[in-house]
Structure 1
Amino acid sequence: MAQPATATESAIRVSTLELFFDLVFVFTITQLATTLAADLTLRTLADILLMLFVIWWMYSGYAWLTNAVAPSSTTRRTLLLAGMTGFLLMALAIPRAFGAYGWLFGFSYLVVNVVHSALFLQAGPAAVVAMRRLAPMNILAALLVLTGGFLPEPYRHLCWVAAPLVQISAGYLHRIEMHSIAAGHFVERHGLVVIVAIGESIVAVGVGFGGLLRGPGEILVAVLGLCIAYYLWWIYFAGDDQRSEHVLAGITDPRRRAALARDAWGYAHYPMLLGIVIAAVGVKKTVGHAFESLHWGQAIALSGGVALYQLGHAVFLRLLRISGVLYRVVAALAVLAVIPLGHVQAVLQLAAIPVIIVAAAIAEDVPRVRRSGGTAISTFGRTPEAPPD
C-alpha cells in the first residue's frame, strides 16, 4: 500500500543555486515569445514547438539531476554553472536558431547535455545504470541539433525533428526505475519554473509597451494582462501543487513513481509552458490596440495560449487522478469560443478570458462547499485521489 511522504522527502527543498539556474532557463521562454511575436506565422510556431521541446527536455533533465545530486560542492556548482552558460547561449541564439546561429544553439545544447551526463554519473550506482542508455541517447539528440545547424533545408529541420524523437524514445528505453525521486524537491522545482515563466511573460509584455503608455487603453491592457497571468498562476497553485506532491510521494514502486514523474511533470508541463509563451505573445499584440480589432492570428494566439495551458493542466490532473479535469477542459473550450470577440475589439477578448477562468473556478468549488455545509475555505475543491496504478 502507498505510504504518505516521509519527513526526509519533505525536507529536501530547492536550493538558491537551482532557482538561479531556473532564472537563466526562463530567459529562453522570453526569447521564444519574442521570436514568435516578431513573426506570428505557422512556420515560426512550428520552430518554437521544436526548440521548446528540446530545451524543456534538458531543463527537466537538470531537475531530475539536482533531485539526485545536490549542488553541494565546488566541482558540482562549477559544472552547473557550465550548464547554465549553455542555456544562456542557447537563449541568445533562439531568434536565428534555424539560420545563422544554428551552430551556436547546437554547440551550446551539446554542452548542456555533456554536463548533465557528467553530473548524473555522480548520483550513485543506480544512476550510473540508468545513464548507460539515457546519456548516449541524449547526446545523440544534441548532435542531431548541432548537425542541423550546419545543413541546408530541408535537412536542417529533419535533424531537428529527429532529435525529439530520440529523446522521447530515451524516456521509455532506459531503466527509469533506477532514478530516485524526492517528491517534495521534484514538485517544488517544477512549480518554481512555472511561476517564474508566468512572471517572465509579464515582464515581456511590460517591455512591449515601451513608450506606448499614453492613455486608458494601455493601462487597461496592462491590468487585464496581469489578471490573465494571475489566473494562470491560480490554476496551478490553488492547492494542486501540494496535492500532486502527496500523490507522487504516496507511490512506493520506483518504476511507477518515475514514470509518473516523467509523464506528469515532463510531458504534461510542455503544453503549459508553450501556452504561457503563446499567451504572452497574444497579450503583447494587444499593446496599443486595446480598442481596435485584432487580426485572427493574434486573437487565436491570445485565447489559444490560455486554452493550451489549461488543457496541459487538465492532462496533469488526469495523470495524477486529481479532480478538476472537466472544469479545465470546459474552461479551455470557452476561452477558445471568445476568439471572435478579439476580432471585434481586443479589450473584449482580454476581459472575457479572466472572467471565464473565475467562473470555472467558482463552478468547481460550489459542490465542495455544499458538501461541507458552506463552511469550507475555497481551494478549487480538488482532493488527491489514490495514486495511479
Structure 2
Amino acid sequence: MRVLRGAAGRGQVTFVELFFDLIYVLGVTQLTHLLITHLTPLGALQTLLLLLALWFAWVDTSWVTNWFDPNQLGVRLMLVVLMLLSLIISASVPEAYGQRGIWVAGAYAAIQVGRNVFVVLALGRAGADESPEQRSQRLGLRLNFERLLLWKSVSSALWVAGGLSHGSVRLMFWAIAVVIEYCGAAAGFYVPRLGRSTPADWHISGRHLAERGQLFILIALGESILITGTVFGERPAVAPHLLAFVVSFLGSVALWWLYFDRSAEAASAVIDQSEDPGRIGRSAFTYFQLPMVAGIIVAAVGDELVIAHPDGHSGWATIVTVLGGPALFLAGHALFKHSVFGGVSKPRVVAFAVLAALVPVGLVVPPLVLSLLATLVVAGVGVWDSLLPAHHAPATT
C-alpha cells in the first residue's frame, strides 16, 4: 500500500482533511460553553487542559497527513476512526470532570497511540519500486514515529489514569500528561537507544502545515461568530444588545484581519521555502497558534457576557475575558511572527500593554464600552500594519 504523498501532492489540503476538521467545530464550541459556565481559575485550568487535548489530537494528525496521502484508502479509514474518537471527546467535554472523564481519556489515548501505531506499521512496508534514498527517508521517518509512539504511550497512560480517578487527582494526572506531551517535541522525543529527533528530521511540506493551521484559526473564529449570533438571537432587539452584537462581530473581524491580511500568506511562503521547515512548523504552528486559539475562545466568552449584559457594571469575569481574549491572541500572534520572520512586533507589544492598562478602566465603564475599547485596540494594530510597506511587512511587523 502506497500511503505516502507523492511530490505533486505534498502541499495540497484534501477534502478528507476538511471533513476531519468539522469535528473540531463542536469541540471548540463545547470548550467555550464549559468556560462560560465555570468562570473561575479552576474552571479556566480545566478548560485549558481539554483544549490542549483537542489541540494535540488535531495538530498531531495534521503532521501525519503532511506525509500520508488521505486519498489512499488506509489513511482515509484511519482518519474516519480518528474523527469518531474526536467526536466522542468533543461530545463529552461538558462532563469531562464528571462521569465521562474516562470517555475523554480513553478516546484521546486511542487517538494518540492508535495513530502512531498505524504510522509505524505503514512505514515498515517498502514499495516495490522503492529507491535507496526513499528507503532511507522512510526508515528515518519510522524511527521518529517510534520515538513519538513511546512518548504518547506514557502520556496516554496518565490520561487514562486520570479518567479513572476523580476530583483533584484527575486534574493532577491530566496536567502531568499535558506537560509531558508539550515538552516532548522540545526534548526531541528522546528515547534511550533510539536517540532523539531534530527539527531537520521532520522534513515537511510547509505550505500544507501552514494552511492546516490557518483553517483551525478559521474554525475558532467561526465558532466565535456562532456564539455571537446565537446569544444575540436570544436577547431583545433593543439598541444596547444590537450595539454589543455589532461590536462583538467587529472584534472577530479585527482578529481575522490581523492574522490573514498579511502574515498568513507570508508565513506560508516563508515556511515553504525554508531549509528547516520542521523547526518553524513546530514552533509557529504547533506551539504558538495555541494561544491564538485560546484567545479566540476567551474572547467569545467575553462577547457572550457583553451581549447578554451590555450596560451596568463590568464584573471581573467580563473584564478578564473581554481584555484577556485579545491579549492572548496578540501574544500568540507576536510569538508566531517572531518564530517565522524574526524580530519583535512592536504594534502587538504596545497593544498588549494598552489592554493591560484598560483593566482599571473596566471597573468604571459598562461592558459595551469596554468591549468597544478592546476592539479599537485590536483594529489599531491592523491599521498600524497596513501603513507599513507590503514588501517590508514580514520582516518588521
**Cα distance per residue 1:211-262 (max 9 Å; x no partner):** 214312221111111100011111110121121122212322xxx4312211
The one-letter code matched in structure 1 to 2:248 is G
Match of residue 198 from structure 1:
221
- Find the partner of 1:137 among 130, 139, 151: 151
The one-letter code matched in structure 2 to 1:19 is L
Matched, 1:239 2:262: yes
The one-letter code matched in structure 2 to 1:347 is L
Compute the displacement of 1:21 (Å): 1.2
Q: What is the number of residues matched between the two proteins?
A: 365
Measure, in 2, the Cα distance between the counterparts of 1:323 and 1:170: 26
Answer whether contact 2:298 2:321 (CA < 8 A) is retained: yes
- Find the partner of 1:329 among 342, 349, 364: 349
Answer whether contact 1:299 1:342 (CA < 8 A) is retained: yes
Measure, in 1, the Cα distance between the counterparts of 2:77 and 2:381: 46
Moved more, 207-216 or 56-65: 207-216
CA 1:363/1:178 → structure 2, altered by over 3 Å: closer, same or farther? Answer: closer
Match of residue 380 from structure 2:
359
Answer whether contact 2:284 2:336 (CA < 8 A) is retained: yes
Answer whether contact 2:206 2:281 (CA < 8 A) is retained: no
Measure, in 1, the Cα distance between the counterparts of 2:72 and 2:80: 12
Measure, in 1, the Cα distance between the counterparts of 2:85 and 2:391: 39
Answer whether contact 2:155 2:180 (CA < 8 A) is retained: yes
Measure, in 2, the Cα distance between the counterparts of 1:341 and 1:320: 35
Matched, 1:249 2:272: yes
Match of residue 223 from structure 1:
246
**Cα distance per residue 1:100-134 (max 9 Å; x no partner):** 11101011101211332134333532321101110
TM-score, normalised on structure 1?
Answer: 0.88
Match of residue 293 from structure 2:
273
Answer whether contact 2:97 2:167 (CA < 8 A) is retained: no
Answer whether contact 2:34 2:93 (CA < 8 A) is retained: yes
1:309 is paired with a residue of what secondary structure?
Answer: helix
Measure, in 2, the Cα distance between the counterparts of 1:105 and 1:117: 19
Moved more, 350-359 or 31-40: 350-359
**Cα distance per residue 1:145-193 (max 9 Å; x no partner):** 1110111343212211111122123212332433231111110010011
- Which structure 1 residue ranges, 5 or more long, are not aligned? 1-7, 369-378
- Find the partner of 1:382 among 363, 384, 393: 393
Runs of 4+ in 1 over 4 A off after TM superposition: 8-11
Measure, in 2, the Cα distance between the counterparts of 1:59 and 1:364: 31
Measure, in 2, the Cα distance between the counterparts of 1:364 and 1:76: 41
Match of residue 135 from structure 2:
none
Moved more, 284-293 or 78-87: 284-293
Measure, in 2, the Cα distance between the counterparts of 1:323 and 1:25: 33
Answer whether contact 2:244 2:306 (CA < 8 A) is retained: yes
Match of residue 168 from structure 1:
182
2:71 is paired with a residue of what secondary structure?
Answer: coil
Match of residue 134 from structure 2:
none
Answer whether contact 2:202 2:278 (CA < 8 A) is retained: yes
The one-letter code matched in structure 2 to 1:273 is V
Measure, in 1, the Cα distance between the counterparts of 2:55 and 2:314: 31
Compute the displacement of 1:47 (Å): 0.9
The one-letter code matched in structure 2 to 1:78 is L
Measure, in 2, the Cα distance between the counterparts of 1:70 and 1:64: 12
Answer whether contact 1:86 1:112 (CA < 8 A) is retained: yes
Measure, in 2, the Cα distance between the counterparts of 1:352 and 1:240: 24
1:291 is paired with a residue of what secondary structure?
Answer: coil
1:14 is paired with a residue of what secondary structure?
Answer: coil
Match of residue 100 from structure 1:
99
Compute the displacement of 1:322 (Å): 4.9
- Find the partner of 2:211 among 161, 171, 188: 188
TM-score, normalised on structure 2?
Answer: 0.86
Matched, 1:345 2:359: no
Compute the displacement of 1:384 (Å): 4.4
Matched, 1:286 2:306: yes
Answer whether contact 1:323 1:382 (CA < 8 A) is retained: no
CA 1:332/1:91 → structure 2, altered by over 3 Å: closer, same or farther? Answer: same
- Which structure 2 residue ranges, 5 or more long, are not aligned? 1-6, 124-137, 190-196
The one-letter code matched in structure 2 to 1:277 is I
Measure, in 2, the Cα distance between the counterparts of 1:277 and 1:153: 24
Measure, in 1, the Cα distance between the counterparts of 2:244 and 2:9: 40
Match of residue 89 from structure 2:
90
Alignment map for 1:48-59 (pairs within 5 Å)? 48-59=47-58
Moved more, 104-113 or 205-214: 205-214
Match of residue 295 from structure 1:
315
RCO higher in 1 or 2 (8 Å CA, sep ≥ 6)?
1
Compute the displacement of 1:381 (Å): 5.6
**Cα distance per residue 1:281-318 (max 9 Å; x no partner):** 01111123112222112111111011110110000111
Measure, in 1, the Cα distance between the counterparts of 2:310 and 2:114: 46
